[in-house]
Structure 1
């Protein structure tokens, strides 16, 4: 059995370890909903107070409102049917707002507890179709990504401002605008193009594939999930002390950025994300998707624990290596070596770190691969408390 340091890395990224006698259950998000409501951990409340400048009461109220919004979102989507045009969490009001293309289902959506905004010109299905059409257009590197924006009811394309008039950029934008309702957003502040966040071999709490260091994401039955750019199928995976963990069983990058690793050799799984001393270690109880506007936190082996806000869902991020589709965008910072690490909102697993720009000194933004997509792709079951 590995000693405490190995157990620590497992916790750090959430994945392996745990103590004998810690019973880890398994289940889907729907199953998690049937369990008794659990209060927010003291550590998570402390993190929100620090990063959002909340009082203890404000942090508690925010987490409770976000948990309710995630539940409302599922019910509202079903009630809205084909009129659903997007949703987001209104942090000032503490409620979920749902956009609709008509009024026929408005009362049914209100009955779920959501606020309703009617008059949207395009359904979410229509905007998703437009985004997928743009996904098929080869983008120049100065186009950093594109996404469905529920608030503006458009597909927003991000372009480096300094290259807005570049011939290749203009040609791409012409094709994108032909696909449907598109708004171009000139990015002024990004210090660099988004990039995957793997790292070379350095000390710390990593896992290694060759000379690449990444972070563990979430425990699944028989292993853990992480980022696809961290390694290829069949590659051996080692802990910080060079102890063998397992092998990469499946990996995709680009297109997606997902992988999973089987575990053995004295390693085992546990439903925990390491708080790195910033907060207490966090239990994972499900994987309900946090709406746009929700608070979210990240754990990784380089920059440890940081929090921020969900900026967008279903985004395409255009890395130099190729695009990654259906990513979630946040303003949480990250650094090389954090790739694959855990994104969690409340006690709900959200995804694994893919890439971003900036750092945790001056700030930055990140994208993650949603965990539910990884579970579905590989037929895995999340380990939950």
Structure 2
């Protein structure tokens, strides 16, 4: 049984440190970072990025994180400057630069002075998102062979994923949604997405099964708790975390995959996320959304601390329990029990694990529910430090 450096004193295997089960138990572990001494995300993720992204040195990993932080700020500037011509932005890990798509060539000239690469595209982010929404509206017409769809800003197209030999099913959905077939690309894959809850013992937090804590937050009345995946429990579900207790106060699944567990006893919020086998914690300082192409790391109670790259946003995923919309697509791995766990980029909270395909031995695709829509939907405030 894997144990978190922070929760081991309680005998729990929670991997994300959105909440500490009790102040006394947390301080009983000598190797645990306290809220006052825990390093920030930018100081602690370098080794994990080296391992999972194949970087050659700590300096290279640290430069990547610095470039990504600059790109997050820069996207806001170029989005405003490009106006209606803005077609999306993608971060390039090799060059450390942001590539901005525009739908009007005249808009590119003013953006290049800001230090970004530009390219002119036929469709752009807004048009692709409209196609995704039209496919969402026609979801009932999709066969079981269609596993999802998403806007691919790098290719300026919407990708529909289907099981091998089922391209016809994608074209049937395109016809039912009445979208422009020229904007759509079909990909075959034998990987079928699944949610990552697991009905086993030795859990991160109990709800009748096992999931992982997401990010500490407080509700509109100032009551503490944590975000997690909606498929981990319906409203009213009781959970245990070490010697702490909570109840699912808000939950949406399917359509979205978000929930808020309100603490009822012996749970104190912290701004920390466990790095598990990598050691230590990340201190979350905000929730600025990372760019497509940026590196990202996740924490979960089965596979611990894993990193990868953001591949796409606004993904529709078709699970057996129903479709979920607005997911972010990554190539970081996860396995059953990791559901609900936190995602961070640098020191910025990003979301909670939803599901995916594959595993941490062979790789795969993993989706997370973005945090910002969750905070807005449930009127929550992220607990930061």
Scaled to the shorter chain, the TM-score interval is 0.7 to 0.9
Q: Is the 8 A contact 2:85 2:103 kept in 1?
A: yes
Residue in structure 2 matched with residue 287 of structure 1 by the alignment: 287
Name whichever of 179-188 and 243-252 sits farther off: 179-188
Q: How does 1:189-268 map to 2 (within 5 A)?
A: 190=190, 192-203=191-202, 205-210=203-208, 212-221=209-218, 222-239=224-241, 241=242, 243-268=243-268
2:135–2:174 contact (8 Å) kept in structure 1: no
Q: TM-score normalised to the size of structure 2?
A: 0.87
| CA pair 15-169 structure 1, distance change in 2 beyond 3 A | same
Aligned to 1:353: 353
**Contact 1:146-1:315 at 8 Å conserved across structures:** yes
* Contact preservation (8 Å) 1:11, 1:272: no
Is the CA contact 1:130–1:180 (under 8 Å) kept in the aligned structure 2? Answer: no
1:374 and 1:89 map into 2 onto residues whose CA distance is 24
The aligned counterpart of 1:30 is none
Q: Secondary structure at the match of 1:186?
A: strand
Correspondent of 1:147 among 144, 147, 150: 150
TM-score normalised to the size of structure 1?
0.87
Give distance in 1, aligned partners of 2:180 and 2:240.
Answer: 45
> Structure 1 stretch 100-109 or stretch 355-364: which is displaced more?
100-109
1:40 match: secondary structure: helix
Shift of the alpha carbon at 1:83? Answer: 0.7
What corresponds to 1:29 in structure 2?
none
Q: Is the deviation greater in 344-353 or in 148-157?
A: 148-157
Closer, same or farther in 2 for the Cα pair 1:277/1:133, shift >3 Å?
same
Q: Please show how residues 90-239 of structure 1 align to structure 2 within 5 Å.
A: 90-117=92-119, 119-137=120-138, 138=140, 139-165=142-168, 168-176=169-177, 178-179=179-180, 181-188=182-189, 190=190, 192-203=191-202, 205-210=203-208, 212-221=209-218, 222-239=224-241
Q: Render the CA deviation track for 1:293-325: whole Å, top value 9, x for unaligned.
A: 111111000111111111101111111111111
Distance 1:103 1:110, change over 3 A: same
C-alpha distance in 2 between matches for 1:185 and 1:290: 26
Shift of residue 53, structure 1, vs aligned partner: 2.4
User: Are the equivalent residues in 1 in contact too, given 2:166–2:188 (CA < 8 A)?
Assistant: no
Aligned length: 361
Q: Name 2:340's counterpart in structure 1.
A: 340
In 2: Cα distance, 1:4 partner to 1:250 partner: 25
- Give distance in 2, aligned partners of 1:23 and 1:281: 10
Aligned to 1:34: none
Mapped to 2, the partners of 1:277 and 1:356 lie a distance apart of 22
Aligned-residue Cα RMSD (Å) equals 2.3
> What residue in structure 2 maps to residue 269 of structure 1?
269
Match of 2:30 in 1: none
Distance 1:170 1:40, change over 3 A: closer
Shift of 1:88: 0.3
Closer, same or farther: CA 97–177 of 1 in aligned 2, 3 Å:
farther
Uncovered stretches (5+) of structure 1, i.e. residues with no partner: 25-37
Equivalent pair of 1:228/1:256 in contact (CA under 8 Å): yes
- 1:12 counterpart SS class: coil
Q: How far is 1:15 from its partner?
A: 1.2
Question: Any idea what the Cα deviations from partners look like across 1:85-119, whole Å, max 9, x if unmatched?
Answer: 111001121000100011343344334432221x3
Offset, 1:129: 1.3
Change (3 A) 1:314 1:7: farther
Q: Structure 1 CA distance, aligned partners of 2:324 and 2:76? A: 25
Alignment check: 8 A CA contact 2:41 2:283 kept: no
Alignment check: 8 A CA contact 2:7 2:13 kept: no
